[in-house]
């Protein structure tokens, strides 16, 4: 685990330069925006109801809320896995329903909560599979692919694991490998569903520091998080959800207040400032 800030996107590594598409307008509207988004798995029960939120570009957005409140559903709607029954999702100002699949795959990546590990696969081979959207039937291992995979493995500190069987890794190592796979996809936008849930505390912090570094490099991060203190410490923007609706969105200090937490989670608590960082710390009472 390293606390130091690693080098920013090193020169001579164009493979990892986040792509800037035509629709990109840095500094303006959010990277991802939901407008009046309503989504239901089945017709009878809407899991998202009229959600209008925005994910700031270049920020680390945490989605919080009680179990079953629609956090994962919002992530799936953001990545076009669930079609909205009304409303829409905008990616850099364009309706994602109209974006070509191949282009979408080069602009956003998703790390699901749990992913199956193919039998007998080794770390580097797994990370290489993230290059799919950049490859074709002919070009399956260009120099760009090679650079992107090497860079993704360097950022996540999994180079020394490259020849290990993924099955034999610890939870924290494995999570770094999955993030490396997402990074190899080389998208400006990274979405992660509960990336810290199955990890011990040290590995949780390690994973969040990695995401923080990636944000500092210019990527936009969206993660579903359960731990409010972690959200407070690492996120730059928080979306609080309850029963399929977005209750509030804003900076951590605005969202993580005693009243708001009582409203979202039905939990009485006291919020104090972290003595070192000044970020909110939630103490259940």
Partner 1 sequence: MTQRSPVRIGPFSRLVSWRDAAIACILIVLMIGLVLAALSFGERDIPLGRVLAAFLPGSEALDRMVVVEWRAPRALGAAVFGACLGVSGALFQTLTRNPLGSPDIIGLNTGAYTGVLAVIWLGGTGYAAFAAGAVTGGLLTAALVYLLAYSAGLQGFRLIIVGIAVSAFLSSANTWFVVKANADEALRAAVWGAGTLNGIRWPQVLSAGAAAIVVACVLPWLARRISQLELGEDAARVRGVPAEPVKAILVLVGVAFTSLVTAVTGPIAFIALAAPHISRRIRRRTSGFDAVGAALTGAVLLVGGDLIAQHALPSSSLPVGAVTVCLGGAYLIWLLFTEDRRS
Residues in touch with partner 1 (CB under 8 A): 76, 79-81, 101-102, 104-105, 108-112, 114-116, 118-122, 124-126, 128-130, 132-133, 135, 137-143, 145-146, 162-163, 181, 185
Cα-based distances in Å from 206 to 158, 183, 221, 230: 13, 16, 16, 11
**CB closer to partner 1 out of 103 and 229:** 103
Q: Taking the complex as a whole, how short is the minimal distance between the CB of residue 148 and partner 1, in angstroms?
A: 13
Q: Taking the complex as a whole, how short is the minimal distance between the CB of residue 138 and partner 1, in angstroms?
A: 5
Q: Taking the complex as a whole, how short is the minimal distance between the CB of residue 56 and partner 1, in angstroms?
A: 21
Longest Cα pair distance anywhere in the chain, in angstroms? 61
Q: Taking the complex as a whole, how short is the minimal distance between the CB of residue 125 and partner 1, in angstroms?
A: 6
**CB closer to partner 1 out of 104 and 271:** 104
Q: Taking the complex as a whole, how short is the minimal distance between the CB of residue 21 and partner 1, in angstroms?
A: 15
Tokens 């080069």 identify what position? 106
Short-list 5, 54, 8, CA closest to 236: 54
**CB closer to partner 1 out of 109 and 282:** 109
Q: What is the rounded distance in angstroms from the CA atom of residue 58 to the CA atom of residue 147?
A: 23
**CB closer to partner 1 out of 88 and 129:** 129
Angle (deg, nearest 10), helices 171-184 and 201-216 = 20
**CB closer to partner 1 out of 9 and 135:** 135
- The radius of gyration of the chain from alpha carbons, rounded to an integer in Å, stands at 19
End-to-end CA distance of the chain: 33
**CB closer to partner 1 out of 24 and 125:** 125
Residues 6 or more apart in contact with residue 154 via CB below 8 angstroms: none
Tokens read off for 7: 């080098």
Count of alpha carbons within 13 angstroms of residue 189, beta-carbon side: 25
**CB closer to partner 1 out of 28 and 136:** 136
Tokens read off for 15: 């493979």
Q: Taking the complex as a whole, how short is the minimal distance between the CB of residue 181 and partner 1, in angstroms?
A: 8
Q: What is the rounded distance in angstroms from the CA atom of residue 72 to the CA atom of residue 61?
A: 14
Q: Taking the complex as a whole, how short is the minimal distance between the CB of residue 59 and partner 1, in angstroms?
A: 20
């Amino acid at each position: 685990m390293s606390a130091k800030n690693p080098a920013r996107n090193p020169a001579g590594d164009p493979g990892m330069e986040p792509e800037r598409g035509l629709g990109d307008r840095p500094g303006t509207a959010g990277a991802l925006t939901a407008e009046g988004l309503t989504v239901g798995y089945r017709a009878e029960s809407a899991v998202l109801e009229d959600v209008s939120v925005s994910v700031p570009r270049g920020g680390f957005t945490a989605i919080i809320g009680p179990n079953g409140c629609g956090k994962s559903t919002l992530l799936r709607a953001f990545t076009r896995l669930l079609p909205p029954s009304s409303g829409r999702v905008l990616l850099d100002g364009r309706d994602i329903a109209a974006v070509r699949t191949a282009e979408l795959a080069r602009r956003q990546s998703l790390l699901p909560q749990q992913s199956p590990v193919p039998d007998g696969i080794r770390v580097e081979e797994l990370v290489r599979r993230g290059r799919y959207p950049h490859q074709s039937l002919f070009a399956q291992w260009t120099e760009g692919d090679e650079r992107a995979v090497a860079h993704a493995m360097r950022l996540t500190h999994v180079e020394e694991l490259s020849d290990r069987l993924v099955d034999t890794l610890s939870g924290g190592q494995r999570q770094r490998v999955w993030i490396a796979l997402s990074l190899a996809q080389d998208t400006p936008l990274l979405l992660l569903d509960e990336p810290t849930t199955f990890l011990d505390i040290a590995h949780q912090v390690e994973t969040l520091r990695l995401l923080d570094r990636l944000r500092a490099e210019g990527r936009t991060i969206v993660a579903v998080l359960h731990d409010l203190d972690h959200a407070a410490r690492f996120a730059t923007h928080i979306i609080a959800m309850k029963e399929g609706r977005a209750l509030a969105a804003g900076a951590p200090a605005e969202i993580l207040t005693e009243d708001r937490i009582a409203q979202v989670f039905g939990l009485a608590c006291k919020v104090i400032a972290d003595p070192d960082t000044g970020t909110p710390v939630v103490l259940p009472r």
